[in-house]
Amino acid sequence: MQFARINDVTIHYQLIGAPADRPVIVFINSLGTDFRIWRDVVVRLAGDYAIVLYDKRGHGLSDVGQLPSSIEDHATDLAGLLDLLAVKAAVICGLSVGGLIAQSLYQRRPDLVGALLLCDTAHKIGTAESWNARIAAVEGKSIGSIVDAVMERWFTPAFRRPENTAYSGYCNMLTRQPVEGYVAACEAIRDADFTEAAKSIAVPTICIVGDQDGSTPPDLVLSTARLIPGARYEIIRDCAHIPCVEQPEALTAIIRAFLTSISPGESSP
Ligand SMILES: O=C(O)CCC(=O)CC(=O)O
């Protein structure tokens, strides 16, 4: 296990491979998850890329940190981690709120971002009303009180079968996040809007979405791709909000094809 103290927050991370030798992919996880969601993608890419995984503040084994916290605070944490690891111009792959953090990192520290993989995310996610209702439910009851509704957005019915042990494991992952970390991330998402900033992104970008994503549906992700100059757009079939769990092979194939197209010869297909 690897931990770093960044911006007075203990951040849990994992570095796989040597950033000096290979292109680096940084994975940022979504709301209510920790970096273990990337496992099935990482095992497929680790031979060809150096990989940075971390639990954003308020999730997994990282501290919650000072409250309230913003998407910019998350981006500053990631910048500190990448500076510590001497990583520059990385491929930044953010899932959902992770994609907001990726967009904020690009605005604050473009030197750290060589390309963007925006996965099941958008320039703006949800409305103030929807986030305030979710925050009230979690603070008034528990994360457990919203788990069924969240899982309907995260996973397709085929994955949500009771006999699927992975499904019950991901329910556990959600309900075991600290309530104050989950709420702080909901507030940060509620207050983030990259509609204007997206138009100034000038690195190769691909927007990817599951065809059954109930949190950031295909139309929303397509509207984000249309804001970003030259961005590509890919849909993954039979998949909802978390393709790294539900369709890791398809997601890996899209990542490889995209990275090979922007840096031919740098990675083996
Ligand atoms: O997944 C995220 O990071 C935010 C989007 C969301 O609302 C996910 C969910 O449906 O719980």
Q: Which atom of ligand 1 is nearest to the CA of 153?
A: 10
Q: What is the pLDDT of residue 21?
A: 87
Distance CA(43)–CA(21), nearest Å, equals 18
Q: Is the pLDDT of residue 255 over 90?
A: yes
- Once rounded to an integer, what is the mean pLDDT over residues 183-187? 98
**Cβ atoms within 10 Å, residue 10:** 15
Instruction: Find the 68 Cα to ligand 1 centroid distance in Å.
Output: 19
Q: What is the DSSP letter of 13?
A: E
What percentage of residues in the chain have a pLDDT greater than 70?
98
Q: Is the pLDDT of residue 265 over 80?
A: no
Q: Using the structure block, give the residue that is written with the tokens 């699927």.
A: 164
CB 33 less than 6 A from any atom of ligand 1: no
The four Cα atoms 235, 237, 239, 242 give a dihedral, to 10 degrees, of: -30
Give the SS3 label for residue 52: strand
Residue 105 CA, chain-centre distance (Å), reads 13
Give the range among 19-23, 145-149, 153-157 with minimum mean pLDDT: 19-23
Q: Whose CA is nearest to atom 8 of ligand 1?
A: 215
User: Would you report the helix, strand and coil content of the chain in percent, each value rounded to 5?
Assistant: 45, 15, 40
- Once rounded to an integer, what is the mean pLDDT over residues 207-216? 98
CB 153 less than 6 A from any atom of ligand 1: yes
Main-chain dihedrals φ then ψ at residue 177, nearest 5 degrees? -70, 145
Top-confidence residue, 238 or 20: 238
What single string gives the DSSP state of each residue in 166-209? HHHHHHHHHHTS-HHHHHHHHHHHHT---HHHHTT--S-EEEEE
Q: Which atom of ligand 1 is nearest to the CA of 30?
A: 3
- Once rounded to an integer, what is the mean pLDDT over residues 242-252? 98
CB 121 less than 6 A from any atom of ligand 1: no
CB 31 less than 6 A from any atom of ligand 1: yes
- Once rounded to an integer, what is the mean pLDDT over residues 228-257? 98
Mutate to test the pocket of ligand 1, among 56, 93, 95, 97 (most ligand atoms within 8 A of CB): 97
* H helices present in 63-162, as ranges: 71-84, 97-108, 128-140, 147-154
**77-113 pLDDT tens trace:** 999 999 999 999 999 999 999 999 999 999 999 999 9
Q: Which of 72, 118, 75 is nearest to 95 (CA)?
A: 118
CB 185 less than 6 A from any atom of ligand 1: no
Q: Is the pLDDT of residue 264 over 80?
A: no
Q: Is the pLDDT of residue 228 over 70?
A: yes
CB 96 less than 6 A from any atom of ligand 1: yes
| 157 upstream amide cis, omega within 30 of 0 | no
- Once rounded to an integer, what is the mean pLDDT over residues 191-201? 98
CB 30 less than 6 A from any atom of ligand 1: yes
Q: What is the pLDDT of residue 1?
A: 80
Q: Whose CA is nearest to atom 11 of ligand 1?
A: 150
Distance CA(116)–CA(113), nearest Å, equals 7
Record the tokens describing residue 76, joined without a space.
């500053």
Q: Is the pLDDT of residue 269 over 60?
A: no
What percentage of residues in the chain have a pLDDT greater than 90?
96
| pLDDT, the chain, mean | 96
